[in-house]
Amino acid sequence: MKYYSTNNKELKVTFREAVLNGLAPDGGLYLPQCIPKINLELFEKADLTIQEIAQEVLSDYINEEISSSELSVIINQSLNFEIPLKAVNDNTYVLELFHGPTLSFKDVGARFMARVLSLLTRNDNNETLVLTATSGDTGSAVANGYYDVKGIKVIILYPENGVSEIQEAQMTTMGKNIFPIKIQGTFDDCQLLIKKLLNDKELKNKKQITSANSINIARLLPQIIYYFYAYSKLKSKKKIAFSVPSGNFGNITAGLLAKKMGLPISFIAATNKNDVFVKYLFSGVFTPQPSLPTISNAMDVGNPSNFYRILELYGHDYEKLKSNIISYSITDEETKSTILKVWNENNYLLDPHGAVAFAAFEKFKTNNQGATGIVLGTAHPAKFQQTVEKIIGTKIEIPETLSECLKKEKSAETLPADFNKVKDYLLEKN
């Protein structure tokens, strides 16, 4: 399978190149040249394990460079935590993707990509710098995925005042090959810096660099797996709609790939007040905006980087796209009242991101009677302890992995949102 740039269909590279480049040299994002079709019967008949599903779903994407036994090892090591599908009420389920080491769904992509990168570069002499921008959860998931992996250094850019205390503690208390940088700016600044750094000729000549953001195809592909997995659990249900809490739209892009592969599902792109996608579906015009702060901060993205992948998957056909994806913008007030309502009525605790998706499915349901909703639970509620406790008025239990890192000393470099300053830091210190 070859991968092409969303900016130029003729620019084709191997999977290895796509993973190492992160972003295509022309600034585009990589997509597979063709989308393999799956045999749906396999999922209708048998009860496959998530590992078996992963093997089925992913092998065509990577089998030229990664053998099926290597893939099997990578899958077992990356998906080594449970992904329960919990019924919240009669027609709504939450797929809990947050039982990995950093309690974020980003563990799936980050752990998979770390192992893929390490495999693809095992014969290289140069150290690989993995650059990533985070609005909260990517940083710790990536750091954890690559922690102490030989030949790899991880540079994390995060916005000052843009991440929670727990999130900051998670990524600044690791040490070893993990280098967090606090940027005096917003997440969009961090993301822009990464894009420029990845395309900087001097840096590229001196270092082997790649990105671990959701722009990297190796993070996107493993996220396809759990759409199939959840579907296989609920295959007897009719009209399954996934409600995906979206920021950079990587997670939903993986879902759309699953749909293109043949999964009969529909999609709700749930956003907070950062609603450029909702506006796009309404008007056909995509206008990036500065990001606005909300209580679902990992979704505070004003220029979702996967937008062009989505356009591409629909052949730039606005009408088609519009008839395939529904999108809602949920206010902080609605998010809070959803958390409280579901807690009181169903005894289930949502985190603010899952709550945005839950609220979006509630809206969807009013026009789609009989639909079964699968809400993606992207973070453990304890990661947003203060917010959640204030809403439900009760103390919640904090998993040990989180309380441990809060005790450790934090260490991060602080830099302005200035391309040259960050570049110099990378050239000098790393």
d(CA 96, CA 351): 11
CB 265 within 8 A of CB 241: yes
Chain centroid to CA 105: 7
| DSSP letter for each residue of 318-335 | HHHHHHHEEEEE--HHHH
Nearest CA to 286 out of 270, 306, 272, 256 is that of: 306
Given the residues 2, 9, 86, 106, the one annotated as active site: 106
Nearest distance, CB of residue 38 and ligand PLP, angstroms: 22
What is the C-alpha radius of gyration for the chain, rounded to an integer number of angstroms? Answer: 20
Between 391 and 426, name the residue whose CB sits nearer to ligand PLP. 391
Nearest distance, CB of residue 209 and ligand PLP, angstroms: 21
d(CA 11, CA 320): 26
**Other beta carbons within 10 Å of 392:** 16
For residue 137 the two structure tokens come to 């959860």
Residues engaged in binding ligand PLP (CB under 6 A) = 104, 106, 136-137, 214, 245-251, 298-299, 353, 378-379
- Tell me if residue 410 is catalytic: no
Question: Three-state SS for 202?
Answer: helix
d(CA 252, CA 271): 11
Between 92 and 121, name the residue whose CB sits nearer to ligand PLP. 92
Between 137 and 362, name the residue whose CB sits nearer to ligand PLP. 137
Nearest distance, CB of residue 234 and ligand PLP, angstroms: 22
Q: In whole angstroms, how far apart are CA 175 and each of 58, 117, 211, 286, 411?
A: 33, 20, 19, 40, 8
Between 16 and 106, name the residue whose CB sits nearer to ligand PLP. 106
Between 244 and 426, name the residue whose CB sits nearer to ligand PLP. 244
d(CA 341, CA 88): 12
Between 43 and 280, name the residue whose CB sits nearer to ligand PLP. 280
Nearest distance, CB of residue 414 and ligand PLP, angstroms: 23
Nearest distance, CB of residue 250 and ligand PLP, angstroms: 3
Nearest distance, CB of residue 376 and ligand PLP, angstroms: 8
CB 116 within 8 A of CB 74: yes
Nearest CA to 309 out of 240, 377, 245, 213 is that of: 213
Active site residues: 106
